[in-house]
Amino acid sequence: MDFIKNAFSGLEFVPGRFIGMLDKMGIGMLVIFIIIGVIILTTLLINKIFSKK
């Protein structure tokens, strides 16, 4: 039980820091969205090129 207590002893929720990090989190989510879009478009392109019609 002491391990759990010591592992989380330095964690605290500070609303000001959370608000300050929202722009970085938004950029990260945008990058993830773009990467997923590129993967989807690449998959569609590969299917179109190699499909036997």
Q: How far is Cα of residue 48 from the mean position of the Cα atoms in its chain?
A: 29
pLDDT score of 20: 92
The whole-number pLDDT of residue 1 equals 61
Domain ranges for the chain: 16-53
Angle at 12 between CA 11 and CA 17, to 5 degrees: 115
The per-residue pLDDT for 40 is 98
- pLDDT in tens for each of the 53 residues of the chain? 666 667 777 778 888 988 999 999 999 999 999 999 999 999 999 999 998 76
